[in-house]
Amino acid sequence: MEATYQKRSRVIFHVDCNSFFASCEIARDSSLKGKAVVVAGDPKERKGVVLAANYIAKQRFGIYTTMPLWEAKKRCPQLVVLKPDFHLYRKISEKVFQFLATFTPVLERASIDEGYLDITDCYSLGSPLDIAEQIQKELLQTLHIPVSIGIAPNKFLAKMASNMKKPLGITVLRKRDVPKVLWPLPVQEMHGIGDKTAKKLNNIGIFTIGELAKAEKVTLQNLLGITGVRLKEWANGIDPRPVDPESGEKWKSIGSSTTLPRNVTEERILLEVLRDLAQSVSNRMKQKGVVSSTVQIMIRYSNFQTITRSKTWENPFQEAEEIFQRAVYLLKRHWNGNPVRLLGITAVDVFDKKEAVKQLDLFHFEEEAKKESLWNTIERLQQKFGNSIIQRGSELFRDKSGDNGKSL
């Protein structure tokens, strides 16, 4: 068995929980088995948006994520609609990864519902197929969570393999299979390529993974930078990235604090400091691609007494304005009015942005999309012309009145 593993070089699993949010709901309530189930922003509202759907809803009725709830109900009048319970999903996710860790410590969480395992040294547990079948069987029996597993010599191929058979699939994808299995597929079906990248590739005549694999390296680098080079390697079945057990643990919290040059009792000055701190925290969260639902502030008084206070909100956030407003709430609630020497803001228990579930009706969904576009435009202008190029009305008023915080 050991010789078989060595011949195959690395052996990587990608374990992907099938329709995870819906599966968690069915695991909690067995009466939902065999029914079409969706998780939606607000089941009571006609304007709700589908956030997740189980395979019965997907395959029998063509329901998909982001579909308006009224349309989903029209396609399936008996549809079971549930509000998201993110606490439940994270709790079950923890149990899934605790179970996977019993096979190998070389385990990397890719998101709340998927992860990579390097089982190269696990030959004493049986063949890769034996191990995959055991994982799949026990997760279904103990946690009632169906998973698909991709088996390959690297992470990219394992990820592509796990997508090929859902639900409850086990797929082996070897490097020698790439020309036959992957190359005929359109580029948008390749892991790592979104709609925008696919359009850029299409514009230069690259429509399939095979055409990407054969494209000139310089052409791709000019078009997509270093990402283009990496995508070409992946399209040829090459991915040297190790399974990194620490990748999911590196950013548990992101914070920023500042010691004030003097003791401050003016609320307006403290709010200005909070706004700067919120912007700093937001920038770092965006760089790491994470969000949070919990804000913590730290207040150190002139006598060096230090307090920390936090609050968790229902919806995850990342934007500076949202962080600022939550920090202001905490400051107004917990500051005792004494002189302040230090302020800090921390986004606690950050997690991958892909995990975020926001309970939005269709109207709010559209408003959020508009707001994100506006924030992106503002950020581009500020990066090019400086932060003062666009200001809120309240900021202009403070500037005119001479209170712009520069006295600090």
Residue 42 counted as an annotated binding residue: no
Residue 349 counted as an annotated binding residue: no
CB 281 within 8 A of CB 256: yes
Q: Which of 108, 114, 272, 322 is catalytic?
A: 114
Q: Report phi then psi at 48, rounded to 5.
A: -60, 160
Closest CA to 198 of 239, 167, 227: 227
Q: Which pair of tokens denotes residue 169?
A: 């699939």
CB 83 within 8 A of CB 43: yes
Give dist(CA 296, CA 170) in Å, integer: 43
Q: Which pair of tokens denotes residue 294?
A: 């919990």
Q: Which pair of tokens denotes residue 230?
A: 């990496």
174: amino acid identity, one letter:
R
Give dist(CA 352, CA 111) in Å, integer: 6
Helices (H), 101-240: 128-142, 155-162, 178-181, 195-203, 209-214, 217-224, 226-235
DSSP state of 47: T
Per-residue buried b or exposed e for 75-102, using 16+ beta carbons within 10 Å of the residue's own CB: ebeebbbbebebeebeebbeebbebbee
CB 109 within 8 A of CB 77: no
Closest CA to 340 of 292, 295, 303, 386: 303
CB 145 within 8 A of CB 45: no
Closest CA to 97 of 107, 87, 106, 88: 107
* 138 part of the active site: no
Residue tagged 């990066």 (tokens):
383
Contacts of 214 (CB under 8 A, 6+ apart): none
Q: Which pair of tokens denotes residue 395?
A: 């900021």
Sheet of 80-82: strand order equals 50-53, 37-40, 80-82
Indicate the annotated binding residues: 16, 113
**Which residue numbers are catalytic?**
114
Indicate the annotated binding residues for Mg(2+): 16, 113
